[in-house]
Structure 1
Amino acid sequence: MIYFDYSATTPMSDIALQTYHRVATDFFANSRSLHTQGIESEEVLSLSRQTIAHALDAMDREVYFTGSGSEATFLALTGLALANQKRGRTIITTEGEHHSVHQALTFLQQRGFTIIYVPLNQYGQVTVNTLQAVLTKDTVLVTIAHANSEIGTVQDLYSLGKTLAEHDILFHSDCVQTFGKLPIPTEILSSVSLSAHKCYGPKGVGAAYIDKDVSWAPFLNGTTHESGFRAGTVDVPAIAAFAAAIDEFLPVAKQEMKRLKDLRQLFLTSFENDSRISFEGHPIKRLPFHIGLRVKGVEGQLVMLECNRNGIAISTGSACRVGESQPSRTLISIGRTPAEAHELIRITFGRQTTHEEVMLLINTFKQLLSRYKGD
């Protein structure tokens, strides 16, 4: 099976696997225990926190480990909103956010917060003008993902953040798809959510960055782990593997993104004159390893199953939406009809992707298109 679903998850790197095994074997003690083994485990945790903080150009005490990127998003958004509700109770977001964002905002809406959705343009972008148009005096928090996992568009967080800073509005961004791959402008962000398994680390580990000068409230009172941010014994081996994966990948990330961008262009060039294919997302400001497309008149699930039958793994969008009958909120929000939204497929490349594999994908896709054209 050839894997083209790296936005859903990535395989753990060898270094991450080796680190997990070593730490789970030699530093298995609870990091909160006061004996020698516990202190050693705490030291591994501390070093891992330093690594993630350094990758974000942040301070160690601004990084909190969680059980997933979704949990990091939920705890960050609820923590920021509840701690700062005296400043305002209106939160701005987009329809194109990850499911975990909508979950957190539904929770807050049930507690009296007002949620406003800023419009997206045809590429899924938020512009400074559209953002300014929906700001109110009561706006306390804005949450906009760095990159959309379904169509690949990357937002200009810096410009949006500068606008929000002028109004003293908190700014959170889901950076799960971009951490380790694209620069994250933490200098203009109040909070960020991350996930290990999107960057060659283990599943079941995430992290939140929260600016040291921003107030947040714990979701569960009385929690001692992670400075009260998240309850539960910390998974030190998995966190160490997360840090090892990032530490290994960052030095080669820029070169790797260039390689994957070239492979992406190879695919696009092969189908640029096919009128049945529509590529979604911004043509330039996007994830370099990501292809979101629609085949006119053919449901994405059918294309995915046909590729699977030929030994190729792709997806029909966010893995967190599998099983939903509703069309993608992202596609609907950028003007696609429900039928068009159901046509979406996502192809994403990663470290193990080769030129030969992409050529096989292209040939398989051409055969599929020919079959459905009736040629």
Structure 2
Amino acid sequence: MIYFDYSATTPMSPVALETYNRVAKDFFANSRSLHNLGLQSDDILTLSRQTIANILNAHTNEVYFTGSGSEATFLALTGLAFSMKQKGTTIITTEGEHHSVIQALNYLKQFGFTILYVPVNEYGQVTIDNLKATITPDTILVSIAHANSEIGTIQDLTALGTLLAELDILFHSDCVQTFGKMEIPIHLLASASVTAHKCYGPKGVGATYLSKKIPWTSFFHGTTHEFGFRPGTVDVPGIAAFAAGVEEYTPLAGAEMKRLGTLREMIEEEFKEHDNLFFEGHPKKRLPFHLAIRVKGIEGQLVMLELNRKGFAISTGSACRVGESEPPRTLISIGRKQHEAHELIRITLGRWTTEEEVRMFINTFKQILKDLKGV
């Protein structure tokens, strides 16, 4: 099976796997224990926190480990919202955000918060004018993902963050798809969510960046783990593997993004003149390894199953929404009709994708298009 679903998850790198095994074997003690073995585990945790902070260009005491990127988002958004409620109750986001953002904001509604959705353009981008028009006098927080996982469009966080800083509005960004792969303007963010398994680390480990300048309220009152941010014994081996994996990959990311961008362009070039294929998302300002394609009149799930039968693993959108009958939210937000949104397939390349595999995919996809009603 050829894996073309790197935006859903990545395989662990050999470095991350080796680190996990060694730490799990030699530093298994609870990092909160006061004996020597516990102190050794705590040292590993501290070093890992410093590694993640360095990659983010943040301070060590601004990084809090969580059980996933989704949990990182939930705890960040609720923590910021509750701490700012005396100032205002309006939060702005987009219709195309990851399900974890929508879930967190829906939860906040029951506590009197108002959620507003800023319109996006045809590529899923938030423009400065649209954001300005959506902001109200009591807006306290804006949450916009750095890159959309369904259509691949990258937002201009620098421009958006500069505006929000001028207006003294907090800015959170889901950076799960970009962390370790491209620069994040962390100095303009109050908070960011990241995860290990999108950058060749283990599943079940995430992290929240929270600026030390910004007050936050813990969702879990009374907990002492992770400086009061999250309860529960931390997974030191998983966190160490997270740090090791992303530390190894980050220096390679520039060249790797260029290589994967070239492979993506190979696919685009082969199908750009096809009358029944539509490429979604921004043509240039997008994740280099990401393709979002619609086959006119054919449900994405059918195309996905056919490719699976031929030995290719792709997806029809965010893996967090699998099993739901609703179409990808992002496509609806950019004006696609329900049946068009259901046509989406997502092809995402990664570290172990080869040119030979891409050529095999092109030939296989061409044959499938012919087989499916001759499109």
TM bin, normalised by shorter chain, reads over 0.9
C-alpha distance in 1, partners of 2:348/2:4? 5
Counterpart of 2:354 in structure 1 is 354
C-alpha distance in 1, partners of 2:303/2:370? 13
Counterpart of 1:85 in structure 2 is 85
Counterpart of 1:183 in structure 2 is 183
C-alpha distance in 1, partners of 2:328/2:18? 38
Q: 1:214 is aligned with what amino acid?
A: I
Counterpart of 1:55 in structure 2 is 55
Q: How far apart are residue 372 of structure 1 and its match?
A: 2.0
Structure 1 segments, 4+ long, off by >4 Å, are none
C-alpha distance in 1, partners of 2:19/2:269? 40
Counterpart of 1:300 in structure 2 is 300
Counterpart of 2:154 in structure 1 is 154
Q: 1:255 is aligned with what amino acid?
A: A
Q: 1:156 is aligned with what amino acid?
A: D
C-alpha distance in 2, partners of 1:55/1:374? 48
Q: How does 1:25-36 map to 2 (within 5 A)?
A: 25-36=25-36
Counterpart of 2:316 in structure 1 is 316
Q: List gaps (5 residues or longer) in structure 2.
A: none
Partner secondary structure for residue 325 of structure 1: coil
Counterpart of 2:206 in structure 1 is 206
C-alpha distance in 1, partners of 2:27/2:372? 56
Are 1:239 and 2:239 an aligned pair? yes
Partner secondary structure for residue 197 of structure 2: helix
Q: How does 1:121-200 map to 2 (within 5 A)?
A: 121-200=121-200
Q: 2:280 is aligned with what amino acid?
A: E
Percent same amino acid at aligned positions?
69
Partner secondary structure for residue 294 of structure 2: strand
Counterpart of 2:103 in structure 1 is 103
C-alpha distance in 1, partners of 2:373/2:142? 45
C-alpha distance in 2, partners of 1:152/1:40? 41
Q: 2:76 is aligned with what amino acid?
A: A
Counterpart of 1:219 in structure 2 is 219
C-alpha distance in 1, partners of 2:234/2:54? 20
Counterpart of 2:20 in structure 1 is 20
Q: 1:215 is aligned with what amino acid?
A: P
Partner secondary structure for residue 213 of structure 1: coil
Q: How far apart are residue 370 of structure 1 and its match?
A: 1.1
Report how many aligned residue pairs link the two structures: 375
Q: 1:341 is aligned with what amino acid?
A: A
Counterpart of 2:4 in structure 1 is 4
Partner secondary structure for residue 58 of structure 1: coil
C-alpha distance in 1, partners of 2:91/2:190? 14
C-alpha distance in 2, partners of 1:82/1:163? 23
C-alpha distance in 1, partners of 2:173/2:201? 21
User: Could you state the TM-score of these two structures normalised by the residue count of structure 1?
Assistant: 0.99
C-alpha distance in 2, partners of 1:137/1:115? 14
C-alpha distance in 1, partners of 2:87/2:53? 28
C-alpha distance in 2, partners of 1:183/1:85? 31
C-alpha distance in 2, partners of 1:31/1:373? 59
C-alpha distance in 1, partners of 2:118/2:184? 22
Q: How far apart are residue 374 of structure 1 and its match?
A: 3.1
C-alpha distance in 2, partners of 1:102/1:124? 16
Partner secondary structure for residue 372 of structure 2: helix
Partner secondary structure for residue 95 of structure 1: coil
C-alpha distance in 2, partners of 1:326/1:236? 37
C-alpha distance in 2, partners of 1:154/1:182? 11
Q: List gaps (5 residues or longer) in structure 1.
A: none
C-alpha distance in 1, partners of 2:255/2:5? 20
C-alpha distance in 1, partners of 2:70/2:372? 38
Q: 1:196 is aligned with what amino acid?
A: A
User: Could you state the TM-score of these two structures normalised by the residue count of structure 2?
Assistant: 0.99
C-alpha distance in 2, partners of 1:277/1:182? 29
- Aligned CA RMSD, in angstroms, stands at 0.6
Q: How far apart are residue 298 of structure 1 and its match?
A: 0.4
Are 1:366 and 2:374 an aligned pair? no
C-alpha distance in 2, partners of 1:87/1:253? 40
Deviation by residue 1:338-359 (Cα, 9 ceiling, x = unmatched): 0000000000000010000000
C-alpha distance in 2, partners of 1:52/1:326? 35
